Amino acid sequence: MGLYVFMRHGKAVPASVAGSDEDRWLTEEGRNDVAAMAKLIPFMPRVIYTSPLRRARETAEIVSRIRGGEVRVVEQLSPGIASCEALEELGPEPETVFVGHAPSIELIVSCIIGGGAIKIKAGGYALVEAEELARGQGELLELVTPRVAAVLQGRS
């Protein structure tokens, strides 16, 4: 069995400020939330797969800086492409972090755990345990929000 983290990117500026949805960057609050969340990841990631969109890449870079792990930008986590099947193409090893977008990252988690309507707050993550990342093969262990991270780290 292996552990996997499915993280939604941190809070980002609106597309109207960035010029396009693809170019949205993390707000200061978003960066702080992601940093706090990274400290709670229960393993040192080997790889951090991320969507190519700027806000997801920035999230992955913060996680990598705090917890380690090689950041790999992959199309399989892009909005509109991300799915259980797309994730299987990556052949991920345990102790991997995936950074993506709502609702696709949430749908992937729901698929892997065999159902449900998982909701991940911006900057939050779901911790899943699985023998392999395939439909219905995992168990949701934790759903952590930036608010919980702030309370645990005395920032509330």
Q: Which of 83, 129, 72 is nearest to 106 (CA)?
A: 83
| Contact in structure between 100 and 53 (CB atoms under 8 Å) | no
Half-sphere exposure of 154 (CA within 13 A, CB side): 0
Q: What is the CATH number of the domain that holds 107?
A: 3.40.50.1240
Q: How many domains does the chain have?
A: 1
Q: Write out the chain's pLDDT in tens, 156 residues.
A: 899 999 999 999 999 999 999 999 999 999 999 999 999 999 999 999 999 999 999 999 999 999 999 999 999 999 999 998 998 888 889 999 999 999 999 999 999 999 989 999 999 999 999 988 888 999 999 999 998 888 887 766
Which domain covers residue 21, as residue numbers? 2-152
Q: Count of CB atoms within 10 A of residue 87's CB?
A: 24
CA distance 24 to 53: 8
